[in-house]
A and B are shown apart, each in its own frame.
Chain A
Amino acid sequence: MSNNFSIRNLSIKYGFLVLLLVLIIFFSIFASGFAGPRSAVFIFQSVAITGILALGVTCTLVVDGFDLSIGSVATSSLMMSAYMLVILEQNAFVAVVACLLMGAFVGLLNGLLIVKMKVPDLLATLGMMFLLIGLQRVPTEGRSIATGMRLPSGEVADGIFPGSFLWIGRHRFDFFLENLIPVPVIIFLVVAVLVWIFLELTRHGRLMYAIGSNERAASLAGANVNLYKILAYVISGVTASIGGILLSARLGRGDIASGNNLLLDSVAAALIGFAVLGAAKPNALGTAIGALFVGILLQGLTMMNAPYYTQDFVKGGVLVIALVFTFALTSRSRKGGH
């Protein structure tokens, strides 16, 4: 009985990491070129933006909320940075700060809708998502933004994406090998560490978890529930706008069709994160690993010549397995614990 127990507990705790390890070994053997620093960096690069968004959505999941607007905040930030640079001819610094402020403002708005207007979180952020998808198209009448484009007024936009802005998305630092690690990967890792510190090591993170588990009890223990909920959405908005800036700096144009998959991919990464180390709750480390897990799987499959259209199917499969890990196994072990 106790033996059976520990096997289950071990599999809950380490099962997902073992699965990740098995995948890496499998691809290293069967997909030529998979094992290697360049391939590893490529994986990190492919999940950096999704991962940053996922870390933001993790914060909203911690307070038992949900942010559906992250994808559209990211694309709005993409369009806004391009608009600032190309049409308003601002410098890179102004563009970045404007996008971050926009993200924080949208987060604040989401938070106020949920806390003050009592709109359920899914509906409030769904509304915000629609609003932003529409709004980002208004200034250019639905067209993408690039240097030399003709504006609705008939003028030609002369602004350019300056090198300092493109640097954020394209520069690679030397790390043992020349031109190895791209800036977005560094930013992803920094955001992951910051969110992890915030959630795990500060009292604010502790209180946010308390609110997510039992809002009433947290409030009766003196937690400022409304403030922390709003804060979670502001964090989510800011990280989403960072993702949008990185996307814009990588593309070098305000592409209206980019970032369609961001929402689903990042929510999936955060949910897969529940299964890591048997946490059964949103957590920063899990989210980062969840994002990497999807990246590794897709990279390996692509190298083994799996067609691109199977990607979403694979992601969905991983998500469902992770959710089974989280909910079926952990709830059973909790019941067994009594």
Chain B
Amino acid sequence: MSKIACKIRNLEKSFGPNKVLRSIDLDLFPGEVTVLMGANGAGKSTLVKILCGVHQSDNGTINLFGKLFKPRRPAEAFQAGVVTVHQAINDGVVPDLSVASNLMLDKLTNNKAGFFIAEGVIRSEAKKIADTMGLSLDVSLPVSELGVADRQLIAIARAMARNPKVLILDEPTSSLSAKEADRLFQVLDRLRNTDVAILYISHRMSDIREIADKIICMRDGSISGTFSTKPLDYEGAVTAMLGHKMTEVDVKIAKKGEEILNLSNLALSDQSPRINLSVSKNEVVAITGLLGSGKTKLASILFGVRKQAHGTIHLNGQPFSPSSPREAIKAGVYMSPKDRASNAVISDFDIEKNLTLPFLHSYSWLSMLRFKLLRKLAKDKIEDMGVICQSEGDEIETLSGGNQQKVVVGRWLMQSCNLLVLDEPFQGVDIKARRDIGDYIRQTAGSRATIVLVAELDEALEIADRILVMNEKSLVGEHVNDNVNVNEILVDIAGNNQLLEQVSK
């Protein structure tokens, strides 16, 4: 394999003042599966978007088999042989059309195709494509009647029908079960022999162990590690992806109060392992783990957004099973969700209205809002959290990401509670804002139990008394944050699936 399929040199990209990609060098070889790992905001998706023609690079070159490749539109990328299967499966298939039509869609949209559709020809050609992919199903069925795995495979089959030189798969297993993922891997094994260079983006260590020929890690817009000698160093890869410059923040472990939250034998979904957890007053517990390890599922169960499959939750010794966020809030369980833009920020509102949203009932009299009180509370909170703005009446959209995050986290600190769950409270936030938020959470932690869910280990080390590691929906490690051995945590995060599988068998 001496010939390089895709050679990227010195690729750079900025959005405004943010440097998203810094001098990326990357080689993809035919017949090889290269896994690209990186935390949120590391620059993976920008890299993929440049390769598939959605964004244009500012600097640097891409060569495809020695030819310069600079797509300005997705269509140009297709023609040059770079095909991407995106994460949202339905982007890759038309649910109402039959499998055959889906597989032949590109032939149908071709201008050279005839006016009428020869159903028989399409079906037989589609059958051929399906067979080469090892898909045994009735091609006349509409895609909407298939399972997720089959849809994903059809999206890949569609991509393969374009004869790609480089195939990019963006988290293809994110909605597949382990069994379904196995089928995908069989197909990928077959593709390896067809000399396609595959760039595979994933966070699931089980996937990566299964199929990676090479692992490339990205962190903060540059390549932080390349692993190609077998056996691959998975822990090294996780370390390179998450990084762990020992932080300067020194956490003084607080004295635990009485137990607030108790999870016993909790299963996040039907087949997943049981979780046992106890969190006490005046304690900040960080749960860390890769994307998709189940952290957000846990948060949404605690906040009444979804139900656990098995097991019980006790809050202050009482059984607790909220059926909506409203009920959870009434019981004194607050949750600051991740992805602030879609889950937290009310973009039409100013800072004051955003801060005071959850507790309007206690700031009103006979339903009439008490405006003076609202303004005073908002001003106080803005000062406490160090939100940088001109006044509490500034539109939230005019704030920087870090300050927006302070506002949406701050809204849950307006009133005291029993349990505060913070899902990725430092997402898309600069280091200064991260320290501000972290300090404030620790300052106020005395009156409640606090659970912080973070993918970045640094963040966990900065804020927690105790760090738990979640892997494949189960809690696999517990570390008190006092001279903690970071390598042990990283091993837990990367997980040792062979071991786990043996246990579950």
Pick out which of these stretches binds chain A: B30-38, B168-176, B341-349, B426-434: B341-349
Minimum Cβ distance to chain A for residue B141 (Å): 25
Mark out the residues of chain B between 295 and 331 whose CB falls within 8 Å of any chain A CB in the assembled complex: 303, 305, 325-326, 329
Q: Does B337 contact A (CB under 8 A)?
A: yes
Minimum Cβ distance to chain A for residue B372 (Å): 13
Residues in B whose Cβ lies below 8 Å from that of A334: 395, 397
Residues in A whose Cβ lies below 8 Å from that of B368: 201-202
CB-nearest residue of chain A to B16: A338
Q: Does B364 contact A (CB under 8 A)?
A: yes
Pick out which of these stretches binds chain B: A8-16, A110-118, A220-228: A220-228
Bound Cα distance A210, B345 (Å) = 9
Residues in A whose Cβ lies below 8 Å from that of B344: 217, 220-221
Residues in A whose Cβ lies below 8 Å from that of B345: 214, 217
Residues in A whose Cβ lies below 8 Å from that of B329: 222
Residues in A whose Cβ lies below 8 Å from that of B349: 209-210, 213
Residues in B whose Cβ lies below 8 Å from that of A217: 342-346
Known pairs A222-B358, A337-B398; A203 contacts B346 (CB<8 A): no
Q: A281 touching B348 by the CB < 8 A rule?
A: yes
Bound Cα distance A207, B344 (Å) = 14
Q: Does A38 contact B (CB under 8 A)?
A: no
CB-nearest residue of chain B to A205: B369
Q: A221 touching B367 by the CB < 8 A rule?
A: no
Main secondary structure of the interface of A (DSSP, over half): helix
Q: A204 touching B326 by the CB < 8 A rule?
A: no
Q: Does B411 contact A (CB under 8 A)?
A: yes
Known pairs A210-B346, A334-B397; A219 contacts B360 (CB<8 A): no
Q: A216 touching B343 by the CB < 8 A rule?
A: yes
Residues in B whose Cβ lies below 8 Å from that of A214: 342, 345-347
CB-nearest residue of chain B to A200: B369
B345-363 Cβ-contact flags toward A at 8 Å (1 or 0): 1111100010001101101
Q: B397 touching A337 by the CB < 8 A rule?
A: yes
Q: A202 touching B367 by the CB < 8 A rule?
A: yes
The bracket for how many chain A residues form the interface is 20 to 34
CB-nearest residue of chain B to A281: B348
The bracket for how many chain B residues form the interface is 20 to 34
CB-nearest residue of chain A to B326: A222
Q: Does B335 contact A (CB under 8 A)?
A: yes
Q: Does A218 contact B (CB under 8 A)?
A: yes
Q: A221 touching B398 by the CB < 8 A rule?
A: no
A144-179 Cβ-contact flags toward B at 8 Å (1 or 0): 000000000000000000000000000000000000
Known pairs A210-B346, A210-B349, A214-B347; A220 contacts B337 (CB<8 A): yes
Bound Cα distance A213, B354 (Å) = 11
Bound Cα distance A86, B341 (Å) = 57
Residues in A whose Cβ lies below 8 Å from that of B397: 334, 337-338
Minimum Cβ distance to chain B for residue A238 (Å): 18
Residues in B whose Cβ lies below 8 Å from that of A338: 397-398
Residues in A whose Cβ lies below 8 Å from that of B361: 203
Residues in A whose Cβ lies below 8 Å from that of B363: 203
Q: B358 touching A337 by the CB < 8 A rule?
A: no
Q: Does A206 contact B (CB under 8 A)?
A: yes
Residues in A whose Cβ lies below 8 Å from that of B342: 214, 216-217
CB-nearest residue of chain B to A213: B348
Partner of B367, one of A204, A212, A222: A204
Bound Cα distance A208, B335 (Å) = 21
Bound Cα distance A223, B360 (Å) = 10
Bound Cα distance A92, B434 (Å) = 66
CB-nearest residue of chain A to B400: A338
Residues in A whose Cβ lies below 8 Å from that of B303: 220
Mark out the residues of chain A between 97 and 140 whose CB falls within 8 Å of any chain B CB in the assembled complex: none
Residues in B whose Cβ lies below 8 Å from that of A221: 325, 344, 357-358, 411
Q: A203 touching B367 by the CB < 8 A rule?
A: yes
CB-nearest residue of chain B to A198: B367
Minimum Cβ distance to chain A for residue B335 (Å): 7
A274-304 Cβ-contact flags toward B at 8 Å (1 or 0): 0000000100000000000000000000000
Known pairs A203-B364, A217-B342, A217-B345; A210 contacts B357 (CB<8 A): yes
Minimum Cβ distance to chain A for residue B103 (Å): 31
Known pairs A201-B368, A337-B395; A220 contacts B343 (CB<8 A): yes
Residues in B whose Cβ lies below 8 Å from that of A213: 346-349
Bound Cα distance A212, B346 (Å) = 9
A-B contact pairs, 16 of them (CB 8 A): A201-B369, A203-B364, A206-B353, A206-B357, A206-B369, A209-B346, A210-B346, A212-B348, A214-B347, A216-B342, A217-B343, A217-B345, A219-B325, A220-B335, A220-B343, A334-B397
Binding site for B on A (CB under 8 A): 201-204, 206-207, 209-210, 212-214, 216-224, 281, 334, 337-338
Q: 4 closest pairs, A vs B, by CB?
A: A203-B360, A213-B348, A222-B329, A221-B358
With A210-B353, A224-B326 known, 19 other A-B pairs at CB within 8 A are A203-B360, A203-B369, A206-B353, A206-B357, A206-B369, A207-B357, A207-B360, A209-B348, A213-B347, A213-B349, A216-B342, A217-B342, A218-B346, A219-B325, A220-B335, A337-B395, A337-B398, A338-B397, A338-B398
